Chains A and B, each alone.
Chain A
Amino acid sequence: MSGPMIEVRNLTRAFGPVTAVNGISFSVARGEVFGLVGPDGAGKTTTLRMLCGLMDPTSGEMRVAGFDTVTQTEQVKDHIGYMAQKFGLYGDLTVEENMRFYADLFGITGQDCEDLMANLLKMTRMEPFRARPAAKLSGGMKQKLALMCTLLHRPQILFLDEPTNGVDPVSRRDFWAILYQLVKDGLTVMVTTAYLDEAERCDRVALMHQGKFLLMDTPQVLRESLPEVCYELRGDDMRSVRDRLRQLPSVSHVELAGNSVHVFLRAGERETELFAAVPGASFRKVLPSLEDVFISTVRNAGAARDAA
């Protein structure tokens, strides 16, 4: 199939007076990893559910794998894998039983099923746990099992809703390694996450806030997009340094990050005032992280709304 794997136009979903998703449009190409980032309640899960045909939109159009999600839901379901925020596993069933159940639902049988299961178990290094009940797996293993269950029918598009929530860092890294391997074989992935380091791993990221996309681009472009210039300052007692820098008129805002601060200089302002404020300290010009970009964007959006 040529053309985008996911295409969304003016998608809106209202729950009574609350508009959870408010007129978003985007498209995702084959083999792309598209990240949806935003605070809780931004509308990420609702967007994903609508794309999987689990929920109908109030208005707007969606095509997934070339099928309309409202009128051709059954075809859409054959082409997608969906991993809900709370992994849909049966705790009293073993790893293998969980996998066989989903394989049966998707019509994967016989040798084909055996091969696929063996491959997936090998790739995720879950072979030793075949006979273990899902409830007795660790968080990371549960997540891998859930992923395997959604991959059994070789979907073209994978929808992952905060897949690494509550999973340890090592398992998270494993999880992404598996994802990249699948993407190399042509899988398209749309993932929501609250972790900004995870967002950096995506080909393209959209920042969602109160039902709208505030930003959407590659992580690199987004990091370069801030009009403010970012300086990093390391040292002790950064809390008081932050409070001092905040007073400066040329500084837009200051973010504390461990034993360093990121200072954002307003566009067009000179550094002299800033450097003079903390004598003897070494300032380093850095590319802001995605986190910096998102926090500053969300803050500006809030300020713009307050002014309006």
Chain B
Amino acid sequence: MISFRRTRAMARKEFLHILRDSRSLYLALMLPVVQLILFGYALSLDVDRIPILLFDQDRSPQSREMLAQFRGSRFFTVLGDIESYQPGEYAITSGTAMAVLVVPRRFGEDLAAGKQVPVQLLLDGSDSNTASIALGYARAMVAGYSNQLRTEYQIRNGAGEIKPPVDPQIRVMFNSELKSKNYIVPGLIAVILMILASMLTSLAIAREWENGTMEELLSTPVRASELALGKLSAYFILGALDTVTIVLAGVYFFGVPLRGSALVLGISAGIFLFGAMSWGLMLSAITRNQLQANQLGLLSSFLPAFLLSGFVYAIDSMPALPRFMTYIVPARYFVAMMKGVFLKGVGMELLWGEGLLLLLYATVVFVILTRKLRQKIA
């Protein structure tokens, strides 16, 4: 039987440690918000304001009209106009410009004659992701202008307006503005909580071993499960406080919509914290060394949560091995739940599977933790 009194005694003692160590306490309360803001800004995956140089060899009304589209676009920032290739190549090499658009001589004349006219785009391919997005934008703009011209031409020749045969009607669900912040922030909250939880707890048992208090505890009637639950509940209070803080920061600072229920969010965060904190305690109980436990805690929480949770990199497009590995990363399920609650506004009726898997993970880790704690001195 687990004794409530002994568990509470452990929890109270652990909470006193947290309160008395003011430096770690400030760190534990401030770091998540700082991380959210830093990552939230740095990890923007939106590509806009691509720096571009324009080389208009034609200087006709038509070329000016087309380039005006680029000047007015939010996807491009026109750095200036150039008179030759050389400054353009230099700008791309030195990294000041991402692209150079070249409009050839006789552009306007040839268009008027109904010929097909090539337009040249020089691109910096060293950042292939951004380059291909920039290429897409530029292509779409040129195509748009070209369509406009064709329509005008047809109307002028009395053919009437001919609409394109297929017209895709697109509606983006859940993140209609396609802002990357909206899906980064909920995932980021999951990653930050994972790091925080295992870092906080990774010291808690190793410290007792290093101070010699563990030996004393082992000679008292306190049981492994009481010790673990007591410590968990003290850190849980801190973790819950952090969760509330970063969720509020996400909603009010980054303007991410919270469409689902705060209760579902709270329950899933609670289960996740329980598992992640048990993980930290387990590392602490295995290593019995604060430094090792801390390093292991950071490595084993940060890397999988960042790379294998589907937070930045889509799980479906991973090769088979890493994709298989994501199944044992608890953050994977929590990231899915967070995106579901934040952006889709769904509740437990759709998220219960992830919730159960998180619970399973937490239980398994907790059982290993108590096994490790039950071990004698040597």
At the interface, yes or no: A52 with Cβ under 8 Å from chain B? yes
Tell which of B5, B13, B213, B219 touches A53, judged by Cβ atoms closer than 8 Å.
Answer: B219
At the interface, yes or no: B351 with Cβ under 8 Å from chain A? no
Q: How many residues of A are counted as interface, with CB atoms below 8 angstroms from the partner's CB atoms?
A: 35
Q: Cβ of B216: which chain A residues have Cβ within 8 Å of it?
A: 82-84, 87-88, 149-150
Q: B182-216: which have CB < 8 Å to A?
A: 211-216
Contact with A along B355-378 (1 / 0, CB 8 A): 000000000000000000000111
Shortest CB distance B115–A (Å): 83
Q: Is the CB of B213 within 8 A of A104?
A: no
The segment from B16-24, B47-55, B105-113, B326-334 that touches chain A is B16-24
Assembled-state Cα–Cα distance A280/B194 (Å): 83
Q: Is the CB of B221 within 8 A of A106?
A: yes
Tell which of A91, A106, A109 touches B220, judged by Cβ atoms closer than 8 Å.
Answer: A106
Q: Is the CB of B212 within 8 A of A88?
A: yes
Assembled-state Cα–Cα distance A93/B211 (Å): 13
The segment from A72-80, A176-184, A242-250 that touches chain B is A72-80
Q: Is the CB of B5 within 8 A of A104?
A: yes
Q: Is the CB of A15 within 8 A of B212?
A: no
Q: Cβ of A78: which chain B residues have Cβ within 8 Å of it?
A: 221
Q: Residue on B with the closest CB to A133?
A: B20
Assembled-state Cα–Cα distance A54/B10 (Å): 19
Q: Cβ of B220: which chain A residues have Cβ within 8 Å of it?
A: 77, 102, 105-106
Q: Cβ of A301: which chain B residues have Cβ within 8 Å of it?
A: none
Shortest CB distance B183–A (Å): 42
Q: Is the CB of A88 within 8 A of B213?
A: yes
At the interface, yes or no: A198 with Cβ under 8 Å from chain B? no
Q: Is the CB of A88 within 8 A of B378?
A: no
At the interface, yes or no: B222 with Cβ under 8 Å from chain A? yes
Shortest CB distance B234–A (Å): 13
Shortest CB distance B378–A (Å): 6
Q: How many residues of B are counted as interface, with CB atoms below 8 angstroms from the partner's CB atoms?
A: 27
At the interface, yes or no: A92 with Cβ under 8 Å from chain B? yes
Q: Is the CB of A104 within 8 A of B6?
A: yes
At the interface, yes or no: B217 with Cβ under 8 Å from chain A? yes
At the interface, yes or no: B344 with Cβ under 8 Å from chain A? no
At the interface, yes or no: A222 with Cβ under 8 Å from chain B? no
Q: Cβ of A90: which chain B residues have Cβ within 8 Å of it?
A: 13, 17, 211, 213
Assembled-state Cα–Cα distance A84/B8 (Å): 24
Tell which of B3, B12, B13, B219 touches A80, judged by Cβ atoms closer than 8 Å.
Answer: B219
Q: Is the CB of A74 within 8 A of B16?
A: no
At the interface, yes or no: B348 with Cβ under 8 Å from chain A? no
Q: Is the CB of B221 within 8 A of A54?
A: no
At the interface, yes or no: A26 with Cβ under 8 Å from chain B? no
Assembled-state Cα–Cα distance A81/B17 (Å): 24
Known contacts A15-B378, A89-B213, A92-B20; A54/B218 CB under 8 A: yes
Q: List 19 A-B contacts (CB under 8 A).
A: A49-B215, A54-B376, A55-B377, A55-B378, A56-B376, A74-B221, A88-B215, A90-B13, A91-B211, A93-B17, A104-B5, A104-B8, A104-B9, A105-B6, A105-B220, A106-B220, A106-B221, A109-B5, A150-B216
Using a CB–CB cutoff of 8 Å, the interface residues on chain B facing chain A are 3, 5-6, 8-10, 12-13, 16-17, 20-21, 211-222, 376-378
Further 5 A-B residue pairs, CB within 8 A, beyond A82-B219, A105-B10:
A88-B215, A100-B9, A104-B9, A105-B6, A105-B222
Using a CB–CB cutoff of 8 Å, the interface residues on chain A facing chain B are 15, 49, 52-56, 74, 77-78, 80-93, 97, 100-102, 104-107, 109, 149-150
Closest 10 CB pairs of A and B: A88-B216, A104-B9, A86-B212, A82-B219, A88-B213, A92-B20, A84-B215, A105-B220, A101-B13, A52-B219
